[in-house]
Structure 1
Amino acid sequence: MNPETRGYALALIWALFAMALCVTPFADFLTVRAAGPDGTGGRFSLIIRGFVVVALLYATLIGGNAKRTSCINALLAIFPVAVAAVAVLKGDMSATEFAAQGIFVSKIFSFFVYAAALSSLSERQRVQLEPFVLGALLIYALAIIMGATFSIDMFRSYQADTQIRSGYKGIVFAQNEASALMITGLGYAYLQVLRFGWRKRLTLVIVVLTAASMLIGTKAAAVGAFAVTCVYLFARHSAVGAAFKALVAVAVLLTIAIAAYTMSPAVHDAVSLTFDYFTYHYEHARGNAILTILLSGRDVKFSQVWAELTAIDYLPILTGGYPVTRYLIEIDLPDLILCMGLPVFCCYLIAFRGEFMSTYPGPVARYGRYFFFLILAVASTAGHTLNSAVTSPYLALTAVMIRRSK
């Protein structure tokens, strides 16, 4: 490989990441602003991220950094698209659904593109990206906080004729995607603390992201923020010490929450609105009401899709190609299995897990294992994690730092 070509490719990869981290928050804001009452509108963020992924793929190839695992992952991505194309020819999927399915697959596998590109950068180059990463995360979190502070309708998590539930997602298109982003951002920040210790800017980022997680209004964001804290504590301390510190964190959060509830009328009204929402759905839920509340009705969606699968002998579970974008369950694991097929999904999950496994024993390696299982838990309940174009670059940054950290 020509050293000049390789140097050009590495510079291009760094510049693309820096540009993406600067531009995508603005593109997400434009997408949210253009969205209509039915949730449709301009997808400026999709255009920007699509360009970045394609450009990163090009830069990685010309730099000679494509490894065998990257080629295998590319083949895994091609298979579900090919099966979906067969479904179009058979008349089981429309051309519009095929395009949406292709975008869905590209979102899933964009993580590996980001990870492969970042792996080719030196440690110094990755460190130079940190201000852009933290800056972008702060923009997303501050948009949520500003939405709650000034009651900005455009930033609300739940849009309806009447606001049925309290919460603010900021400039991210979907509230569950905002939850996954805050969890991923906290995962990145706590990893930096684990490696370099507590610094002022990292402390600021963690405080702001935690506050934003509490304001989104989803169970995943609130529980996930605490779970990331536990991942950090159990990676750094012994089990007893981590458990004690986790209990202290719970006590502090409960104290702040109770104080805010009793002293702020706005917080009181928001909690009451959300409580009434869950009470109503609990009383009107069919089957296991508690499970329906915990999964926000996703178990009902799963039952409906499962009933459709019976008519075709459950074949998509093996082959993939089911039009998941027609009616998402919004739980990543079944959505990905129906899209890719169980054999391809298992290969994907093994490859995804490998990105978070460090070869160097110690706190960072433990952090990688615990964080992977946390991401899997969020994907298995709240969704919008493994198939999120918003979270993919931050997940990739965290994974590469874990694998490369001694």
Structure 2
Amino acid sequence: MKSILLSTLCISCLLSSAVAQDTDSIAASFKETSAATRKNKAIWGTDLYNNILLIDPVTRQVYANRPDSAGLLQKSGSVYTGTWPVSQNIANTSVEWSGYHWAMVQLPLPKRTGDRLNLLTHELFHRAQPGLGFNTRDALNNHLDTRDGRIYLQLELAALGKALEATSPAIRKKHLTDAFTFRQYRYSLFPGAEKTENMLELHEGLAEYTGVMMSGRTKAETLQSIAFQKQRFLGAGTFIRSFAYHTVPVYGYLLAQTNPSWTRDIKDTTSLEAYFRKAWQLTIPANLGAAVTERAPAYDGPAIIAAETVREEKRLAVVAGYVKTLVTDPHTEIRFEKMNISFNPSNMLPLEKYGTVYITLRITDKWGVLTAQEGALVGAGWEKVSVTLPERINGNTITGRGWELQLNEGYQLVKDDAGQYKLQRK
């Protein structure tokens, strides 16, 4: 009996020590973030530091820098802890929860101080966005998953990278002109792209710019981080929702060298592309087609075009496969009632008029929780999600190839005469 009690006491001591160590490091992260936002409040004219939730996605343990209104979080040292509800998703985002608007970040935090501050201040900007007058929202840019969309985005980024490395204002201006020439040509190929790209750049681009500028990195560290993140981005599965992390931060960083308060000039109706062009007094060639043909070789254009031509053939085959399994063949269709979704923005596939396949996602709704690891199609109107046919139904737990649905009481999947499953209330 004593040995059991002693073992229990020792385990308790170890757990208490681990929790104390966790809360100490998290308290330190809150403190350094507060210092960073206070130091950089001139960027937006206010201190962005506010409510933060740090959540372990495995244990769902929550660490916050303030109490919630319902008393779900308990004080532990200088932080507040609790358990995140299973009915709520976990992501790097901003969220309304228990009486307050929070910046939410998944644990573990990055080890490097610059990366950690970049992430936390990025999400604090999202929390502050409406109050700053940026009532923006996400926008998918499906054209950036096509051959030509990807080619001219990569050429823009290549020219932008050269501008970042430029050793004189004249050379920088030349590369910036080329970058915007490639962008303008992309807009000419895809009507409406100027609007949807700007929407995402206002929403995510400004947030990432904020993170970069508040990260506390030196100039050399900033340039190294931008280059590293760009390479990661170019190796990602898709560009449709993540490109803005690599355009606005770089354009903004370059402009901040001569106009550090440029963010105070813009609002949620500003065309960032037009704003940057005007700021640098760039003149774009009238004959865009001839200009991009002439300038592309300087930015590895032939290699980019060759690689994207091969990728496009493979992409179309994958799209056809998903259309068959999630649209034309019998499948499982679940309509949304009050949906909340988390997903990987670097792993998505547009299916044209049918919507977008999110390779990994977690959806919570009145009907329960759906998790997918091999692709789920969210309708173009955000009205439903489709997955493959169920392979096993065990009470309220239903599984299929790469997905699991945990239903709440009062709901069931029903098979119709065509072999299709649909969610219904009992």
TM-score (norm 1): 0.31
Which is strand-richer, 1 or 2? 2
Which is helix-richer, 1 or 2? 1
Higher relative contact order, structure no. (Cα contacts within 8 Å, ≥ 6 residues apart) = 1
TM-score (norm 2): 0.30
